Amino acid sequence: MNKILFSAVSKKFVMALAGLFLLIFLPVHLGINLMLLRGDPEPFNNAAHFMATFPLVKVVEILLFLAIIVHIAYGLLLQVQNWMSRPVGYSVRNKSETSAFSRFMIWTGGSVLIFLVIHFFNFYFIKLGIVEGDPENFYSVAYQLFNIPGYVILYWVCFLVLGFHLYHALQSAFQTLGLSNEFWTPLIKVISLLYAIAIPVGFAIIPLVIWLIK
């Protein structure tokens, strides 16, 4: 049984499912963030409050943390095993054609992880009371952060890198779950590309628009 639960293929299934959950969560998060663009803090703070308190959302939040932890843990575990599978490398760099960004998933994923840590410090830890701030007014927390040029640049870089991760992630998850054939896969690749552009661009324009409005 253990052989099945922890086989290379099963680990990838779990990773893909957790990753898909994160892929669904991102547009929801983006939808809420776009409320920042309204002049009035109420809708955004209400949405943030709703996300923090509504019981069903609580369940989803637990799932979300689980998904993040499982995705990262399995990602690292698989990566280490994969590195160990080739203890002696080639002296000429491998020139085999590969799908773009697929070789850098550990690095793009790792960068996203660093952003996530910063992100938790900025927001989630306020909610937990670890970091000082008003959990009922994330609107102003966000505006303060977007006032720091260095933060915004970091934010943009992180979303660019996230885009790289997402482009391979979406199509890869379908392949891992066996949902791939001659007919669908070309379409899935186009959707991956659109998704990987739309999500980062959506997040990245928020500080830009805020600056322009000011």
Which chain residues interact with ligand HEM by CB under 6 A? 12, 15-16, 19-20, 22-23, 26, 71-72, 75-76, 78-79, 105-106, 109-110, 112-113, 116, 165, 169, 172-173, 176
192 binds another protein (CB under 8 A): no
Answer yes or no whether residue 8 interacts with another protein by CB under 8 A.
Answer: yes
Burial class (CB in 10 A: 0-12, 13-18, 19+), 40: exposed
Distance CA 85, CA 82 (A): 5
Query: Mask 154-173, x = binds another protein (CB under 8 A)?
Result: --------------x--xx-
Token pair 């898909």 is at which residue? 20
Name which of 101 and 123 has its Cβ closer to another protein. Answer: 101
Query: Is 87 in a helix, a strand, or coil?
Result: coil
Rounded distance, CA 202 to CA 182, Å? 31
> Cα separation of 40 and 163, whole Å?
30
Work out whether the CA dihedral 203, 205, 211, 212 comes out positive or negative: negative
Applying CB under 8 A, among 53, 56, 129, 181 the residue interacting with another protein is 181
Among 39, 55, 97, 186, binds another protein (CB under 8 A): 97
Contact 148, 208 (CB under 8 A): no
For another protein, give the closer residue by CB, 8 or 201: 8
Calpha distance 168→189 (Å, rounded): 9
Interface with another protein, residue 102, by CB under 8 A: yes
Q: For 88-120, what is the HEC assignment?
A: CCCCCCCCCCCCCCHHHHHHHHHHHHHHHHHHH
The option from another protein, ligand HEM, none interacting with 93 (CB < 5 to 8 A, set by class) reads another protein
Q: Residues binding another protein: what is the number (CB under 8 A)?
A: 43
Scanning 109-117, 127-135, 178-186, 199-207 for contacts with another protein by CB under 8 A, the matching segment is: 178-186
Among 9, 56, 187, 213, binds another protein (CB under 8 A): 9
For another protein, the binding residues (CB under 8 A) are 3-4, 7-13, 78, 81-82, 84-99, 102-103, 105, 168, 171-172, 175-182, 185
